[in-house]
Amino acid sequence: EKYGDMLSSISKGTARIKLGKEFDVIAKIIENGSLPFLPRPVDEKDLIQDTTKITFKGKHYFQYEAWETFLKYGAIGIYWMTGAGKDIFSCYALSRIKVKKDGKELPNLFVSPNLTILEQLRKDYFPNFAPELLKEIEKGNLILSTYQGYEKLKKIEFGLTIFGECHVLPADTFSRFATIKTKYRIGQSASPYREDGRHALIFALTGFPIGLNWQSLMKILGKKYHDVNVYIFDSLEQKIKFATNLITDSKTLLFVDKIDVGNRLANLLGVPFIHGATKNRIEIAKESKIFIASRVMEMGISMKELEHIIEVDFLYGSKREQIQRTGRLFHSESKKSKRHDILMTQEEFEKYGKRLHSLVEK
């Protein structure tokens, strides 16, 4: 009765979910006090020897505590600040978990909202922290996918699934991934917010939540806050002109939302523009002193030399996007001072100024 209008072909013990109603069913299940997965301690036989270069000692002890929590529940969500080591933790977990069923090894899965994050895992994180994972990919024991790849994966059973940037999981188009058949699961995000109000589902669809407030982690990791400056203009033309004048000899990323704005800036400055159709995004970002980027570079990307962000164009009032963009600077290891300049028209400030609240909160 509770799900009648969302189901079709109901028979004893089974029911087919109507097309497009997957999210509604999951939300209703959670609302009624159940979870679409079963938290369970990690079985000792599913753990293999540590072959990584990762250590959870010293200031990274909080990561060890997270690992202990994962072993206890088998399903967790990690909500540390940007630059606190969520992807390194994922490398460790993917390296330690190996589930066998009926004598056959179940593959592990890392799912991400975009290809840029997967590219960085393959080219940076895996080689530097867990080289064995590259061999696991070759053998088919580790699958990297975007959330758009659900149809190809829905019939596969996994050992461990990691939901990268799991704040996207409650979206209508991606929520089906929460029902993927997996023994263990980990969600990770530095910005567990949603503009549609589905925040609670981020936690419910991943597992036991683990997080420290940004101020505590900043102190533990020895990081410092950077300056954030907001400039108000009358028009987009003024913003573009001002952005070009802000360029110095620092490693600089100019964020845009619209492709045409990105192309204009790239032509004016004579620098690369990284967007959805760009290949080798990580290499271009590393090799370029100055570059333009769309939203494909705002989540989960670590640029160790980045010093300056200029935000020319953005997605309305998204607080999640705002915190993710400024978060790129927390990954930086540069000794120089860092800054984030946000350029808004008067109209944008009045309509979408709420996106700046996330910066004040942190």
Whether 30 is in a domain gets the answer no
Whether 52 and 190 map to the same domain: the answer is yes
Whether 81 is in a domain gets the answer yes
Whether 214 and 70 map to the same domain: the answer is yes
**Average pLDDT of 323-335?**
91
pLDDT per residue as tens digits for the range 110-121: 999 999 999 999
Strand arrangement of the beta sheet that strand 308-311 belongs to:
227-233, 339-345, 308-311, 252-255, 290-293, 273-274
By mean pLDDT, which of 126-135, 238-247, 315-324 is the weakest?
315-324
By mean pLDDT, which of 211-220, 226-235, 257-266, 278-287 is the weakest?
211-220
Give me the chain's average pLDDT, please: 90
Whether 185 and 100 map to the same domain: the answer is yes
Residue 30 has pLDDT above 70, yes or no: no
Pair type for strands 208-210 and 14-17: unpaired
- The whole-angstrom separation of Cα 117 and Cα 342 is 24
* Residue of 339, 302, 283 lying closest to 84 (CA atoms): 302
Where does a domain end: 188, 218, 248? 218
pLDDT per residue as tens digits for the range 40-97: 899 999 999 999 999 999 999 999 999 999 999 999 999 999 999 999 999 999 999 9
Whether 210 and 350 map to the same domain: the answer is no
**Average pLDDT of 164-193?**
87
Model pTM score: 0.81
- The whole-angstrom separation of Cα 267 and Cα 262 is 9
Q: Give the CATH number for residue 68.
A: 3.40.50.300
* Residue of 139, 106, 101, 136 lying closest to 121 (CA atoms): 136
Where does a domain end: 195, 218, 241? 218
Torsion (CA) 353, 354, 356, 362 in degrees, nearest 10: 170
Whether 246 and 345 map to the same domain: the answer is yes
- CB 116, CB 297: distance < 8 Å: yes
- CB 233, CB 346: distance < 8 Å: yes
DSSP 172: T
Whether 170 and 316 map to the same domain: the answer is no
Q: What is the DSSP code string of 12-69? A: TTEEEEPTT-HHHHHHHHHHTT--SS---PPPGGGB----SS----GGGHHHHHHHHH
Torsion (CA) 108, 111, 116, 118 in degrees, nearest 10: 0
For residue 293, give the H/E element and its range: strand 290-293
Whether 15 is in a domain gets the answer no
- The whole-angstrom separation of Cα 47 and Cα 168 is 29
The domain in which residue 112 lies consists of 35-218
- CB 143, CB 153: distance < 8 Å: yes
Whether 284 and 335 map to the same domain: the answer is yes
Whether 135 is in a domain gets the answer yes
pLDDT recorded at residue 216? 86
- CB 131, CB 313: distance < 8 Å: no
- CB 117, CB 189: distance < 8 Å: no
Whether 129 is in a domain gets the answer yes
- The whole-angstrom separation of Cα 13 and Cα 2 is 15
- The whole-angstrom separation of Cα 93 and Cα 299 is 20
DSSP 279: S
Whether 206 and 272 map to the same domain: the answer is no
* Residue of 293, 301, 316, 306 lying closest to 338 (CA atoms): 306
DSSP 329: G
Whether 123 and 196 map to the same domain: the answer is yes
* Residue of 305, 326, 309, 303 lying closest to 255 (CA atoms): 309
Whether 159 is in a domain gets the answer yes
Domain count, the chain: 2
Where does a domain end: 218, 248, 263? 218
| Core vs surface per residue 211-228: b (16+ CB within 10 A) or e | bbebeebbeebebeebeb
The two tokens of residue 40 are 């369970």
Whether 26 is in a domain gets the answer no
Whether 229 and 209 map to the same domain: the answer is no
Whether 130 is in a domain gets the answer yes
Whether 132 and 231 map to the same domain: the answer is no
First to last CA, the chain: 44
Whether 232 and 346 map to the same domain: the answer is yes
